[in-house]
Amino acid sequence: MKSFFKDKVVCVTGSSQGIGKATALMFGQYGAKVVLNGRNPKKLQSAYDELSKEISCIQVVADVSKEADCKKLIDDAISAYGKLDVLVNNAGIASHGLIEESTPENWSSVIDINTMGTISTTYYALPYLKETKGSVVIISSMAAKIGVPGHAGYSVSKMALTAYAKAMQIELEGQVHCGLIYVGFTANEAEKTILKPDGTYEKLKERKGLKLAKREDVAKKIAWVVYRRKKEITLTFLGKLQHIMLKFAPGVVYALLKKNHKGYDDMYR
């Protein structure tokens, strides 16, 4: 599999930290030329300084919630490398808040990044991906499979991507591969933040009592999805268990959510 990615050009949105950073490093170690992206110049520079010692990469500061920035990201990738083989839509924001306390502005913030960020970046990348018969990877969450109490905005933003991915898989079959990945419970970096209902951010609480996936293992699965041109996978044992429960015993899942939602915490990516 490693030789498959040699000299391929891979753009990973939201790659200044977390899963995105691990994914960028993984592709680079496989021989790909990587486009790093983030909206925070300082964090992105730090990631670039670290990764550029090991892999061939450039950095592009761009906020995927802004359409013009999405276009700039792809334009800069093409200017640097002349082609695009893989787009990994990883950039996203976690959010929490009950429906009645979450303002429309908060909903827009989450959807602009998680949903429209993927849609806009993919739109500008597709002409180049069609030339290489490349891949679009959409990083989703188990929250996309059910409306999670206390995380409705996040669930909506990820559920929309499921419809988007499945439509793309039909429309562009044979031209561009689209892989949808439902990421399960994954270890977070200490600096990861979550959007609060009042529009401010706070550091994500440490996840306890769960067997968490390593970011590096998720990165390997992302590369595998591209290599095998898989349409959809669910990661981690807990993620697969939730998928099975929703299919065969949805009432149990809803009962658990109803019982526990008042003490909601960010469990979903």
Give the number of other Cβ atoms within 10 Å of residue 237's Cβ: 11
Q: Which of 154, 164, 182, 268 is catalytic?
A: 154
Q: Which two tokens stand for residue 168?
A: 């793309």
The answer to whether 188 and 207 have CB atoms below 8 angstroms apart is yes
Interhelix angle 152-171/104-114, rounded to 10 degrees, is 40
The per-type count for the chain, helices as H runs and strands as E runs, is: 9, 10
Task: Give Cα separations from 237 to 12, 240, 241, 249 (angstroms).
Answer: 25, 5, 6, 17
Catalytic status, residue 154: yes
Quick one: how far is CA 164 from the chain centroid?
Answer: 14
The answer to whether 16 and 40 have CB atoms below 8 angstroms apart is yes
The answer to whether 202 and 194 have CB atoms below 8 angstroms apart is yes
Rounded (to 5) percent helix, strand, coil in the chain: 50, 20, 30
Q: What amino acid positions are annotated as catalytic residues?
A: 154
